[in-house]
Structure 1
Amino acid sequence: MDTLEAELVAAIAASRYYARRNYFLGYMVAGASVVSSILAGISVSFPCIPPQVTAVLASIPAAMIATTTTFRFEQKSAWFWRKAKRQESLLRSIRYEAVDVATASKTLSQIEEDMEQEWVSFGTPAKKA
């Protein structure tokens, strides 16, 4: 059981890491979009700022929307949080409900299969289990 439990602890840590990473990437993209939009609006007021700079700043929000649509950071973050919660539930079952190794292993395999069906692909709607 120790080996399976250690594997599960590592999988939970990985799921949490990727959930946080995607969450922060989503907010960074949104923040970059807002900031660049504000800067583009302000830059128009200053004749010393070249129009090319304003054009670049104005184009960043569209690029950020394309990035968000393609990489789907928010949806992937939610997917990893769901996965972590299911893994944590199994870990508690092993630790506190005396679930045997064979049952826990089958359950972990089922979690992996179920989550694979829900994976959010690039630019496509999430798959439903």
Structure 2
Amino acid sequence: MTMNSTEAAPTATSSCGTPSAAVALFRSLGDPARLAILRRLAEGEARVTDLVACVGLAQSTVSAHLACLRDCGLITSRPQGRATLHALAHPELLDLLAAAEQVLAATGEAVDLCPTYGTTPAAEESAR
């Protein structure tokens, strides 16, 4: 049986067996602002204005990041008066972030210096 390009794959994995949900999760965590928002929410519920002050971005940008995190099921939102309070939906996310910090500690600067995903541009590296 062959599948044409308009048919959906029967499983939620990529061709190499990587779960597509895991890819989406790590993409949602891959933005520095969303990661900062999650770290702030790890301390407790927060309003958009609290998060704006924390991450230093415009209210509309923070709201867009919150919508992404909510759509991914990582945060919840509840009204309180005229404001909305946002919170982590799953405390297990803190375990994932702690595990990531352990991996980063174990790899030293290797991840940060990665020519594909690191923060040091390849041009700077080649000049060294």
Q: Which has the higher contact order (CA 8 A, sep 6+)?
A: 1
Between structures 1 and 2, the one with greater helix share? 1
Between structures 1 and 2, the one with greater strand share? 2
TM norm. shorter chain > 0.5: no
TM-score, normalised to structure 1's length? 0.25
Pair member with larger Rg: 1
